[in-house]
Amino acid sequence: MSRKDFADEDPWLTAVLNDWYMDDDTLGGLMAEIEQTGDPVEGAQTWIDENRNLIDEWVAAGDAD
């Protein structure tokens, strides 16, 4: 849920967020990486680097429109 005109103001981000999905294993992997590194930024970046295909799918949803 967002403000009324958000989809019109940012259709790219709206498409990305509509396509974004993390199942329990994916979210758990991100959380485990953050805990393992002890640094949320470093952990998230490591997870992103290791899951680039998934990130690219989310971004591509915005580029498809």
Residue-wise pLDDT for 19-54, tens only, equals 999 999 999 999 999 999 999 999 999 999 999 999
Q: Is residue 3 part of a domain?
A: no
Question: Would you say 38 and 29 are in contact if contact means Cβ atoms under 8 Å apart?
Answer: no
Q: Is residue 16 part of a domain?
A: no
Q: Is residue 8 part of a domain?
A: no
pLDDT band at 15; cut points 50, 70, 90: very high
Number of domains in the chain: 1
Provide the domain limits for residue 53: 22-63
Angle between helix 52-63 and helix 11-19 axes, rounded to 10 deg: 140
Q: Is residue 52 part of a domain?
A: yes
pTM for the whole structure: 0.76
pLDDT at 63: 87
Q: Is residue 41 part of a domain?
A: yes
What are the CA-CA distances from residue 34 to residues 15, 39, 51 (Å)?
27, 6, 14
